[in-house]
Each structure stands twice: as structure tokens, then as C-alpha cells.
Amino acid sequence: GAVVSQHPSRVICKSGTSVKIECRSLDFQATTMFWYRQFPKQSLMLMATSNEGSKATYEQGVEKDKFLINHASLTLSTLTVTSAHPEDSSFYICSARPAGGPETQYFGPGTRLLVL
């Protein structure tokens, strides 16, 4: 089955630092990857859609200068939270859609970010 990994699984950082989260599709190529944020006891909120080789499409209200997304290859997308603050603490989940189908998304295991 299609596997998506995320690294790191958990990160604690000081306020003001930047954190990079990697999302990899391990056994398939993904032209499109998605980044979600989930606060405790809430649903997943789509932050941005990342297409290989082009700029990410951000959802309304998501600061693209704060949440930098790079989709450098068909198997890797990165999310960098710049100048992180405590309110950025959340569970970040990526998903990937296989190139050429099927039209579904496979979710990574998530990264828990805690900003002190």
C-alpha cells in the first residue's frame, strides 16, 4: 500500500526559531501534496496544496511567508514554520496524491510541534 512518512514526528522548539517538517511518499510519486493543521479536539484544516515544481496554493488566512512550502521532487514536500510562536503549536499532517491516480490521498503520521 501507499506509504507517506513525516519527519520529525515530534519537535519542541523555542519561540522565534524556524522548524522544517518533511513529508515523503515512500513507494509512489506524488504530483500533489497537502498540508493540514489540527488543533486539539478539532478537525483537520487544510493549509496549502503543494504541486511539484510550482508554487503552493495557500488557503485563505494562512500566511505564506510564515508557512513556507517547497515541493522539490515527486516524493518530497517540506513545510517550514518560520519564526515559530506558541500559537503555532499544533499537529501538522501531510497527505499525498499519487501521480496518475487513484484520486485519493494518503496521509502521513503527523508531526507534533510544540513551541515554547
Partner 1 sequence: ELKVEQNPLFLSMQEGKNYTIYCNYSTTSDRLYWYRQDPGKSLESLFVLLSNGAVKQEGRLMASLDTKARLSTLHITAAVHDLSATYFCAVDRVGADKIIFGKGTRLHILP
d(CA 100, CA 29): 9
**Nearest residue (CB) to partner 1, 18 versus 42:** 42
Provide the grid cell at 63. Answer: 500566511
**Nearest residue (CB) to partner 1, 59 versus 63:** 59
Residue of the chain from 69, 110, 113, 115 that contacts partner 1 (CB under 8 A): 110
Cα 96 versus chain centre, distance: 10
- Binding positions for partner 1, 24-53, rule CB under 8 A: 32, 34, 41-44, 46, 49
Provide the grid cell at 69. Answer: 512550502
79 within 8 A of 88, measured Cβ to Cβ: no
Provide the grid cell at 96. Answer: 499525498
**Residue 105 makes contact with partner 1 by CB under 8 A:** yes
Residues of this chain that interact with partner 1 (CB under 8 A) are: 32, 34, 41-44, 46, 49, 57, 93, 95, 103-110, 112
